[in-house]
A = this chain, B = another copy of it.
Amino acid sequence: MSELEQGAGRRRRAGGGREARRDARAAGGNVQLPFIRRKIATFDILDEEALEIIEANAETALSEFGIEFREDEEALAMWKDAGAEVDGERVCIPRGLCRQLIATAPAQFTQHARNPERSVEIGGKNTVFAPVYGPPFVRDLDGGRRYGTMEDFRNFVKLAYMAPALHHSGGTVCEPVDVPVAKRHLDMVYSHIRWSDKPFMGSVTHPMRAEDSVTMAKLVFGDQFVDDNCVMVSLINANSPMVFDATMLGALKVYARAGQGTVISPFILAGAMSPVTVAGTLTQILAEVMAGAAFAQMCRPGAPVIFGTFASSISMQSGAPTFGTPEPSLVLYGAAQLARRLGLPFRSGGSLCASKAADAQAAYESAQTLIPTVMGGVNFTLHAAGWLEGGLVSSYEKFVMDCDQLAMMQRFSEGVDMTENGQAMDAIQQVATGPETHYLGTAHTQANFQTAFYRSTIADNNSYEQWEAEGSKTADQRANALWKKWLADYQAPDLDPSIDEALLSFIEQKKAILPDGET
């Protein structure tokens, strides 16, 4: 911890009470929740026999059909050395080799934040929520749908900082298209560091950008600390079906060799990139993740690696991706079990939807993704807030609506309080035998009412008459007021000026040599 102490963390050693007050002040009164340590069971959709069949099939796919590692001679040579059969870019991996290589990967690891109180545990019984990743567009009720800018990016970082149940600042919360592609990653990583103190993700669009992300992390945490600890997780998509491409392999190698976390994520629209069946899709996901995770371990044994999956299905009528339907839920539950069986942390789910507006469709679909996310035991959840329109849009209104749901699921994950206070027999006796005829006045209710029930930030529970008198507002209209309040209340967390200076100087230096044209 010494490097960290010397870094940004050192000034956070104040007393808990002072810090808590400072935190509440900085977050405009929003009390931040730590990552979820679930006290409830996971829901398992598959029995042991089904899991065995799927893993045996995945091994068949890897050993007999093979998987491609494209345009990366080094990767192919590494696989050959490890004992795989390499034919052109096709790698056939003998049964059992992936599992053997993956054995060095941790089942759970800490991702450090620059504020140690915001560090998260990824894996085991823990769940971490991170915001939407990747949309080129943003949308709000006032301005409608438009390309994202660096200002939008900063806004979403600030909203994620303010959101009590977002435990992570995420990565590309929207694409800032007003910054040249080759320079964008610098501003994005800087924003996460400067405007939040929650953990964040690095760039993956080019190996050099991954290198820059690692360099910037080292300016914050110190070289040795970064080498010894995970301070970033980054998203490595498999190019399904059964392909890893050079860009992703390049970024994967940078992060794994730096000891940083990677999420090996098949990006699946079932029916196009995987079979139309759930078991078939699970088989392919497992094969792709096993190959990617094993490769990460070849790069550096012990580097944190997360079993990822993004799985939606397509409309067989139009080919369009669909969300919130039953099949992706089944895939999520099954993949979660396969990840646990493999001993890796699991990434999936979120608040996904196909809807173009933050309407009932968006909410049904998001809930149909988020609830399985929590019930299935996902450890790291991208897209937990803000996702709209199949991931093309970061929505301001949906962002805060989703955050409300996240906080509910966090409460749900705590399970049932079976203490004497939870059992409430004194209150039951008082009401059953009089003089109380309801519970509002009991001592037990008085003692517990402040924390008794989750209080939604979005829901309107008033009477029809009152709701009408207040303008018959729908949920998205109330959400519009809420995200504006959060941004108005936002106060930036402290950052050591010398670190800030070092970061800005690095960025300036890099920007001077990077091209402005599209690359």
Contact = CB atoms under 8 A, between A and B. Distances in A.
Interface stretch (A244-252, A255-263, A457-465): A457-465
A411 interface: yes
A112 B442 CA distance: 45
B412 A359 contact: no
Given A322-B453, A356-B472, A53 B418 contact: yes
Nearest to A61: B428
Given A408-B368, A428-B61, A459-B322, A439 B275 contact: yes
Given A458-B361, A460-B356, A409 B326 contact: yes
A53 B423 contact: yes
A438 B360 contact: no
A311 to B, nearest CB: 12
A231 B132 CA distance: 51
Given A375-B43, A416-B330, A464-B356, A271 B433 contact: no
Contact of A463 (B278, B284, B320, B330): B320
Interface stretch (A44-52, A74-82, A509-517): A44-52
Given A326-B408, A326-B412, A459-B365, A474 B271 contact: no
Interface in A263-285: 270-280, 282-284
Interface in A316-339: 316-322, 324-327, 329-330, 334
A57 interface: yes
Among A66, A364, A439: residue with most chain B CB under 10 A: A364
A366 to B, nearest CB: 7
A60 interface: yes
A130 to B, nearest CB: 20
B317 A66 contact: no
Contacts of A405: 364, 368
A43 B38 CA distance: 15
Interface in A453-512: 453-456, 458-464, 467-468, 472, 474-476, 479
B438 A361 contact: no
A186 interface: no
Nearest to A458: B361
Contacts of A461: 315, 318, 320-322, 354, 390
Interface in A412-451: 412, 415-418, 421-425, 427-429, 431-433, 437-440, 442, 444-445, 448-450
A468 to B, nearest CB: 8
Contacts of A279: 416-418, 422-424
Contacts of A43: 41, 43, 375
A173 interface: no
Give the interface size class of chain A: 35 or more
A50 B452 contact: no
Contacts of A145: 464
Contact of A424 (B283, B358, B425, B459): B283
A449 B318 CA distance: 12
A150 interface: no
Contacts of A379: none
The complex is assembled from copies of this chain, and their number is: 2
A471 to B, nearest CB: 11
Among A315, A330, A461: residue with most chain B CB under 10 A: A461
Nearest to A369: B367
Given A330-B412, A330-B416, A57 B361 contact: no
Nearest to A322: B461
Interface string A20-61: 000000000000000000001101111001100110010011
B367 A371 contact: yes
A303 interface: no
A389 interface: yes
Contact of A428 (B278, B283, B431): B283
24 contacts: A43-B43, A50-B416, A57-B423, A61-B432, A66-B433, A242-B432, A271-B445, A272-B440, A274-B439, A275-B427, A276-B439, A278-B422, A279-B422, A280-B424, A314-B453, A330-B412, A354-B460, A356-B467, A357-B472, A360-B401, A360-B476, A364-B405, A367-B371, A371-B371
Given A43-B375, A61-B432, A64-B429, 4 more contacts: A60-B425, A275-B442, A276-B449, A360-B362
Interface of A: 40-41, 43-46, 49-50, 53-54, 57, 60-61, 64-67, 145, 241-242, 270-280, 282-284, 313-322, 324-327, 329-330, 334, 354-368, 371, 375, 389-390, 392, 401, 404-405, 408-409, 411-412, 415-418, 421-425, 427-429, 431-433, 437-440, 442, 444-445, 448-450, 452-456, 458-464, 467-468, 472, 474-476, 479
